Amino acid sequence: MTNPYSSITKIGDPFILADGGKYYMYATSAGIGFKCWVSDSLTSWSEAGMAYERSADTFGVRNYWAPEVYKYNGTYYMVFSAIDGNNVYHIGIASSDSPTGPFKDCLGGKPLYSTGYSIIDASLFFDDDGRIYMYYSRDCSENVINGKHVSQSYGIEVASDLMSVIGEPVLLTTPDVAWELKTGNYIWNEGPCVLKHNGTYYLMYSANGYATNSYSVGYATSDSPLGKYTKSATNPIIQGDGVKLSGTGHNNYFYSPDGTEVYTVYHAHTDPKNPSGNRTPCIDKLVFGDDGELYCFGPTAGRVPLPSGEKGYYKLYEGVTVSASSGADASCLMDERLARDERGCISLKSDECVTVTLNDPRELYLLWIYNGSETATIPHRIRIEINGEYVIDDLRTQSSPNAANVISLSNLPEGTKVHTIKIFLTPQDGKDASSICEVLLQYVSEE
């Protein structure tokens, strides 16, 4: 995979459904409906036409936004928002027998949910007790609080047939911390979605205006699907650098083919140096720390490892140790986190190395080595020694902080089982040392 996927532009609010060995992506993409794209492996996408198109008798007249599609009881359901003839946004629902559509309105053209004020960005969550919840945003257009136009995240229970709501909506988040307040008198908590892990509910949301570099993703946690939610002190977890990526937000998630990994899809500006409504999709991995914190392995610009199990590719973490010849703690190199600063990196002089040891030697396909977090510490070259006998030398590195240097091990003698990998770094001219922040081992299995 590659971020951003620049062959798809002029979209927003992407959502990916993994179903039947394929991936289906939907997005804000047409004023009167939604396009669908299909992929076999997330490496390339083909347009499959309009999944949903406005009908003559539906409530929405324009501004069809943020579609999400779920397979439920054998049928595909799409939730979305659109504006009616009175300039009020509502949430609609449509269904189809196919993930590519055509989706048709379920309620005779009436909205699934109306509140009397504008609501957008619907997302469904199917809890393991069988109950279903919908998360959405109150639009900031007419929601004025203390002189500011405010977008807020809400949740409400949904009936088991998805055709109505149960009870009253609950306010879950409102923009109230510094990183969410960067766009003047219009402030946002929008694009909410919920992920459950080890009994904790993780509400992800986006803040700031989508056409600004400040648009980013944060999260809050709760022990109940409708809160109370507490925002994380580590927010934002997806934030562009304004150079390679900007406007990284309105995310959702899907699972790897083997179910062991969670990936997130989000949009970024097509031109990061000139933020606008022209956006393109990106995909990165979500990681849960031992402390329960949620991290994004990104946002990354460049190559991204395929999800575990996709096309037979798997990542190796178990039975792997990493050490530095300098004696420094090198465990950060396999913590599945990109470094925000050099504290999450290992610095090496030219005569020092990092050694990766596999307790159970095996054939490997790719070695991913990620640059450190600062431009000044990016290695000029990388040298690899495999099992003390095979050398891959003079490897030039990517030029961006946190970028992946992807090294193929397929040219090793057939059947070579890797026991140790030594990594040597050559610093930039005039520098004493250089740094890396993560090492990833990838193998192919026919199982």
**Residue-level pLDDT at 340:** 87
2-305 maps to which CATH number? Answer: 2.115.10.20
Predicted TM-score (pTM) above 0.85: yes
**Residue-level pLDDT at 316:** 96
| Whether the predicted pLDDT of 180 surpasses 90 | yes
Structure tokens at 244: 């390679």
| Whether the predicted pLDDT of 447 surpasses 70 | no
| Whether the predicted pLDDT of 211 surpasses 70 | yes
**Residue-level pLDDT at 394:** 85
Distance of CA 409 to the CA centre of its chain: 28
Domain ranges of the chain: 2-305, 317-444
- Which phi and psi (to 5°) does residue 422 adopt? -105, 130
The rounded distance, in Å, linking the Cα atoms of 251 and 191 is 7
Amino acid at the residue 440: L
The answer to whether residues 90 and 113 touch, using CB atoms and an 8 Å cutoff, is yes
**Residue-level pLDDT at 45:** 98
The rounded distance, in Å, linking the Cα atoms of 111 and 91 is 6
Does the domain formed by 317-444 have CATH 1.10.760.10? no
The answer to whether residues 129 and 107 touch, using CB atoms and an 8 Å cutoff, is no
